[in-house]
C-alpha cells in the first residue's frame, strides 16, 4: 500500500522505508493469520496477553523462523512480568530468549530491536540500554511513533522531563489520532504543573475517543489538585457520565470529592451502594476498608479503627501469598492502614519500605506518589514536621502534587506551614486524598 501511494504521488520513499515496505513478515499465510490474531488479543490485561501468547506460539509452530512473531512473543512475556501477572525468573528468561531468537532470525528487524528495548525497559529497568534500542529503531524507521512513545516513557521515569516532553510532542504529531498517547502526554504535563496545556490535550483525547475513560478520570483528578476545590472536577465527571456508564475509577473519585467537601454521609452512602462498592479497585477489599475507615475517622465515629484493622489483615495476607505483587503499593497501603489503626512504628516502617522499593531516583514518574502517601502516614501518626518535609520536597520536583491549597492560606513559608499543620492535622487532606486516589488507580495495571 505504501509503495502504491508513493507511486501515485510520484515520490520516492527513503531507503529505510523502501526496505520496510519490501520486507514480508512470512510467506506462510497460516502463520501470518495466527500472528494477526495475536495482535488483536495483545493488550495489558492478563487474558489478553495469555491469548496473544497462544497465537504467537502457534505462528512460530507453523513457521519456526518467524522473527516478527518471536519479537511480539518476547513483548508478551515482558508485559506479563511488568504487570506482575508472573514475576518469575522463568518468565523473564522466556522474554529474553524470544527476543534473542527474533534478532537471530532477522538482525535488522526494527520490531526485534524494539522488543529488546521493551525488555530492557520493563524487564529490568535498564533505561539506558532501552533508549539505545529505541534510538536504533528510530534510525531504521524515522518517525516511528512506537519508538518515540517508548523513549518518552523511559525519559520521564529517568526524570529527563524536558526530553520526554519533546518526544511526546513528536508522538502526537506522528500519531495524531491516538487518544491514549495524547492523554499520556497530558498526564506528563500535569507532573510539570503545565495545567493549561494538559487540559487542552485531555480535551483532544476525549474528542478523539469519548469512550477513553482514563482521560476523563485524569482530567477530573487534575482539576482537583490544580484548583483545590471540587467544582470543575465534578463537571468533568458529569461530562464523562453523559457518554459512559459509571466505572470503577470515576466512582471512587466521586467518593473522594464528597470527602473533600466534607459530605461524609453521602460518601458513606455511595461507598456502601452497588455503584460505590464496585469502585473499590487497587487492593480490593483492603481499599474498601481504608476508605470506610477514613470516612468514619473524619466523622468522629469511635469504632473507625476496626476498619483499618480489617485492611491490615487483608494486606498482610496479600503480602504473604505474593510478596512480589506490587510490593511498593502493598507496603504503602499497609502503612496507611497501620497509621489509621494507631500503630505508629509499623506505619512508618511500611511507608519507608514502600519508598525504598521504588525511590524517586529510580522512577521519577511514580516514585513521588509513594512519597506523598508517606507524608500522609507521617501526618496521621502525629509526625507533622516530617510530613511537611515530604510535602515541601514534592512541591520542589515534578509530581502531581499541587500547591494551590497552600497558596490560599493567609500565611506562607516553611515556619508558617509547620504551624498550620500543627494547628489542624487535616490541613493537607485534599492533597493526601487526591494522592491516595492516584496511587490506588495506578495499582495494578494502568501504567505503561
pLDDT at 362: 96
* 3-class SS of residue 287: helix
Cell reading at 38: 495475536
- 97: closest CA among 135, 149, 57? 57
* 3-class SS of residue 73: helix
Rounded Cα–Cα distance for residues 387 and 428 (Å): 10
pLDDT at 327: 85
Q: List Cα–Cα distances, 174 to 128, 152, 218, in angstroms.
A: 24, 13, 23
pLDDT at 439: 57
pLDDT at 278: 46
Indicate the pTM of the whole model: 0.86
pLDDT at 440: 53
Put residue 422 in one of left, alpha, beta given phi > 0 → left and psi -120 to 50 → alpha.
alpha
Q: List Cα–Cα distances, 144 to 17, 170, 196, in angstroms.
A: 11, 10, 28
Domains within the chain, CATH numbers bracketed: 2-141 (1.25.40.10), 280-441 (1.25.40)
Own/partner pairs, 413-416, CB within 8 angstroms, 24+ separation: 414/388
CB 372 within 8 Å of CB 398: no
pLDDT tens string, the chain, 448 residues long: the values are 444 444 444 444 444 444 444 456 899 999 999 999 999 999 989 999 999 999 999 999 999 999 999 999 999 999 999 998 999 999 999 999 999 999 999 999 999 999 999 999 999 999 999 999 999 999 999 999 999 999 999 999 999 999 999 999 999 999 999 999 999 999 999 999 999 999 999 999 999 999 999 999 999 999 999 998 899 999 999 999 999 998 888 888 999 899 989 999 999 988 877 444 444 444 357 888 998 999 999 999 999 999 999 999 999 988 887 655 678 989 999 999 999 999 999 999 999 999 999 999 999 999 999 999 999 999 999 998 898 899 889 999 999 988 774 443 334 444 555 554 444 444 455 555 555 556 555 543 333 4
Neighbouring C-alpha atoms within 13 Å toward the C-beta of 215: 28
pLDDT at 429: 54
CB 149 within 8 Å of CB 171: yes
pLDDT at 435: 59
Look up residue 408 and give its DSSP letter: T
194-223 core/surface letters (b: 16 or more CB in 10 A; e: else): ebeebbebbebbbebbbebbbbbbbbbbbb
Rounded Cα–Cα distance for residues 369 and 401 (Å): 8
pLDDT at 430: 55
Rounded Cα–Cα distance for residues 136 and 284 (Å): 41
Amino acid at each position: 500500500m505504501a509503495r502504491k501511494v508513493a507511486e501515485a504521488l510520484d515520490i520516492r520513499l527513503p531507503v529505510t522505508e523502501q526496505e520496510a515496505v519490501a520486507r514480508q513478515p512470512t510467506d506462510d499465510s497460516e502463520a501470518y493469520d495466527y500472528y494477526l490474531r495475536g495482535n488483536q488479543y495483545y493488550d495489558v490485561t492478563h487474558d489478553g496477553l495469555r491469548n496473544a501468547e497462544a497465537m504467537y506460539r502457534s505462528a512460530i509452530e507453523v513457521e519456526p523462523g518467524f522473527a516478527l512473531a518471536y519479537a511480539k512473543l518476547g513483548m508478551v512475556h515482558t508485559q506479563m512480568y511488568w504487570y506482575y501477572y508472573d514475576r518469575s525468573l522463568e518468565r523473564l528468561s522466556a522474554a529474553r530468549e524470544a527476543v534473542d531468537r527474533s534478532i537471530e532470525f532477522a538482525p535488522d528487524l526494527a520490531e526485534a530491536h524494539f522488543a529488546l528495548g521493551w525488555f530492557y525497559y520493563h524487564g529490568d529497568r535498564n533505561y539506558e540500554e532501552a533508549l539505545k534500542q529505541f534510538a536504533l529503531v528510530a534510525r531504521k524507521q524515522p518517525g516511528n511513533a512506537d519508538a518515540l512513545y517508548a523513549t518518552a516513557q523511559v525519559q520521564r521515569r529517568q526524570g529527563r522531563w524536558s526530553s520526554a516532553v519533546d518526544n511526546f510532542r513528536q508522538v502526537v504529531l506522528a500519531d495524531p489520532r491516538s487518544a491514549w498517547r495524547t492523554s499520556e502526554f497530558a498526564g506528563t504535563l500535569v507532573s510539570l504543573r503545565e495545567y493549561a496545556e494538559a487540559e487542552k490535550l485531555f480535551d483532544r483525547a476525549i474528542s478523539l475517543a469519548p469512550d477513553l475513560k482514563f482521560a476523563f478520570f485524569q482530567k477530573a483528578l487534575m482539576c482537583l489538585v490544580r484548583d483545590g476545590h471540587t467544582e470543575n472536577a465534578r463537571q468533568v465527571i458529569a461530562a464523562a457520565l453523559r457518554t459512559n456508564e459509571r466505572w470503577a475509577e470515576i466512582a471512587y473519585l466521586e467518593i473522594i470529592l464528597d470527602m473533600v467537601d466534607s459530605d461524609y454521609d453521602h460518601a458513606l452512602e455511595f461507598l456502601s451502594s452497588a455503584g460505590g462498592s464496585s469502585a473499590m479497585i487497587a487492593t480490593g477489599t483492603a481499599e474498601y476498608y481504608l476508605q470506610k475507615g477514613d470516612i468514619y475517622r473524619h466523622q468522629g465515629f469511635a469504632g473507625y479503627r476496626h476498619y483499618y484493622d480489617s485492611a491490615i489483615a487483608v494486606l498482610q495476607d496479600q503480602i504473604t501469598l505474593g510478596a512480589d505483587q506490587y510490593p511498593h503499593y502493598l507496603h504503602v497501603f499497609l502503612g496507611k492502614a497501620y497509621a489509621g489503626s494507631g500503630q505508629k512504628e509499623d506505619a512508618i516502617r511500611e511507608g519507608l519500605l514502600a519508598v525504598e522499593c521504588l525511590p524517586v531516583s529510580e522512577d521519577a514518574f511514580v516514585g513521588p506518589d509513594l512519597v506523598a502517601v508517606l507524608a500522609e502516614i507521617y501526618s496521621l501518626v502525629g509526625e507533622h514536621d516530617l510530613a511537611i518535609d515530604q510535602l515541601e520536597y514534592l512541591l520542589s520536583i515534578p509530581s502531581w502534587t499541587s500547591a494551590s491549597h497552600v497558596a490560599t492560606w493567609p500565611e506562607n513559608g516553611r515556619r508558617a506551614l509547620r504551624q498550620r499543620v500543627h494547628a489542624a492535622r487535616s490541613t493537607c487532606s485534599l492533597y493526601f486524598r487526591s494522592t491516595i486516589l492516584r496511587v490506588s488507580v495506578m495499582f495494578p495495571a494502568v501504567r505503561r
